[in-house]
Structure 1
């Protein structure tokens, strides 16, 4: 990814918004625009043929909305792109729905050109990106919706080992792989292996989904 340009697909039902995004991306030397779509259904077709690295996906669109399109793109694409949701709305419900669908990030449309390009580069590297206000609302939403405490058998039924459960709980606290490795006195590579196993057992595509599912199942550390 460091030598090749980041291939980006724009998906937005507003022509003016698409044109504005195009101008921004064309000014970034490390980003290549590979297509534009006006709804989620068109995005599915273009994503299949162009295989973008990152999709800028509007949430509210006709025909097929951005959240449904995100889920279908990630299910159907041979080369799974990173999806960065763009919206004028900053609500925890949309954040949760988008991350559950598999999005890698969430950005408001009033962000600057620099913030947009930085976000694209971040998700292309595999990072999870939320604006500070979105992240705060997401956590607040989860904390105000308590779930019944799950017995240990829940972790056992999922096949989580004691160490994997410990790693998962540290992930829910927002700790990075390096921080978890230091806390458990293991290598970063070992933590990465545990996290990949956790994702598989929880059916999660990324850290955000794993955190949400852990909280829903009562597996997070309060």
Structure 2
């Protein structure tokens, strides 16, 4: 059994240990655990990859699916659910399971352009709170040009032409609440 405190540590551990299953936090101190999922999945189709998240949103679920995870489990889930996901992913590493998957897939097919990535959602939430490009960059450790790229993608997906129309669309679609927090 190995443990990694960062993406690099975890990547090295998966290469050295060759685990049957890896349990990966979606929010690592140095980036998204989904990049680790992609990297491990590219190297091996036999490793079960269980992603843990505090979030309860379609974006995280669908990104985990697209990255090649075996399962996504919320950190608030009972321990039996986490153990079940680990066991299932060991047996069927290429078959994705997650609570709410069918509903998320239905919503995705109904409006594919509305599916924001986790990072785009983070940027959008800060925009709703009134943060400037520089403030978003500082909060999320991104360059201003990267922030602007995310904003352009958000505008495109929401059919918005400026910040105000993006905020209105995001609230109307339930992507964020009026106070900038996640929609409930």
Give the TM-score range, shorter chain: 0.5 to 0.7
Structure 2 residue matching 1:117: 3-state secondary structure: helix
Q: Tell me, yes or no, if structure 1 residue 75 matches structure 2 residue 16.
A: no
Aligned pair 1:36/2:3, yes or no? yes
Alpha-carbon distance in structure 2 between the residues aligned to 1:95 and 1:142: 14
Q: Deviations over 1:58-105 (max 9, x none)?
A: 11112232111111122235x741111100001111112111111111
Gaps of 5+ in 2: 114-184
* Corresponding position of 1:116: 82
Unaligned runs of 5+ in 1: 1-33, 147-222
Count of paired positions: 111
Please, what TM-score do these two structures have when normalized by structure 1? 0.46
- Counterpart in the other structure of 2:68: 102
4+ runs deviating over 4 angstroms: none
Identify the residue that residue 138 of structure 1 maps to in structure 2: 105
Q: TM-score, normalised by structure 2?
A: 0.55
Question: In terms of Rg, which structure is larger?
Answer: 1
| Match of residue 128 from structure 1 | 96
Contact 2:62 2:104 in 1 (8 A): no
Q: Residue 49 in 1 paired to residue 16 in 2?
A: yes
How far the C-alpha of 1:124 sits from its partner, in A, is 1.1
Q: Which residue of 1 aligns with 2:124?
A: none
SS in 1 for 2:112: coil
Superposition RMSD in Å: 1.8
Tell me by how many angstroms 1:130 deviates: 0.8
